[in-house]
Amino acid sequence: MGVPFEWSYVFEYFVKLLPSVRISLVIVVCSLAFGLIVGLVVALPRMYRVPGLQRVSQVYVSFFRGTPILIQLFLFYYGMPEVLKLVGLDVSKVPSLYFVVFAFALHIGAYASEAIRAAANAVDRGQIEAAYAVGMNGRQALRRIVMPQALGIAVPVLANLVIAMLKDTSLAFSLGTMELTGKAQTLPTLSQHFFEAYLSLAAIYFIICFALEKLFAALERRLLRYERRPVQEAKPAYGRKWLNRRLPAGLDLPKEGASS
C-alpha cells in the first residue's frame, strides 16, 4: 500500500505473465477432455435409466455440484495419497498438477453430464424412431443422430463451463501449482506493485475469455448450420400501403405532389 501507480509495471508484468498462461490452458484442456468423457459415461445411465448405475450417477453429480471446487481439490490432493497407500501405491511424489487436473475433470464431468443429458433429450424423438426404422441400432442412432445435434445444443452450456473453469484454475495455486494467478501473486513481491500485477492478470483473463467466447460461438453456428430456421413473419403494413390494401381495386391514393 502507498506505492504510486506506474503503467510501466502493467506492461512489464503482462509480458512476464504470458508464459504462465500455458499452465492454465493445460489444466483447462486436459480437464475438459477427461471431463467430457466422464460426463458422457455418467449421463448414459440416466438417459437409458439403467438400474443401480442411475443412482450412482445421481450421487456423483450431487456431490460434485454440491461442494466447492476448492474443497474437492483439497480432498483429492490430501486424501487420495492416503487411500492409495492402502493398496500399496505411493503417489506422494506425483506433481500437484496431476491432482488438479483429476479434480477439475471430475468436477466438470458432473456439469457436463447434465448438459449432455439435457441436450440429448432436446433432440426430436421422431428422428430417433426414424433411425430405428431405417435399420440403425441404438448405438448407431446415438452416434449418428443424437450426438451431433446434442453437441450443437450443448455448446453454449459447455462454453460457460470452460470459461468458468478457466477462472477457477486460479485455485490451483493453493496446491502449489504455479499457474497464471500464482505467478501474479509472486511477481510484485519485491516492487510491491500488486495492483499493476492484478491489472495485467485481469487483462490476460479477459482476452482469453473473449477469444474462447468467439470460438464457441463460431462452433455453435457451424454445428447448427443445418437446423431449420423459423420463417420470418412479414412486417405489417402501415400508412399508404395499409390504405391502398383497404381501397377497392383501381382506386389507389394519388401520390404526393400530383395534381387533382
Domains in the chain (CATH in brackets) are 22-177 (1.10.3720.10)
DSSP line for 181-239? HHHHHHGGGTT--HHHHHHHHHHHHHHHHHHHHHHHHHHHHHHTTTSPPPPPPPPPP-H
Q: 153 phi and psi, to 5 degrees?
A: -70, -35
Closest CA to 174 of 252, 257, 103, 247: 103
Q: So what's the pLDDT on residue 248?
A: 56
pLDDT for position 260: 47
Mark the ranges of the chain whose per-residue pLDDT is less than 70: 1-2, 226-260
- For the full predicted model, state whether its pTM sits above 0.75: yes
pLDDT of residue 196: 92
Q: Can you tell me the distance from the alpha carbon of 113 to that of 161, in angstroms, rounded to the nearest whole number? A: 12
Report the SS3 class of residue 23.
Answer: helix
Residue 126 pLDDT: 81
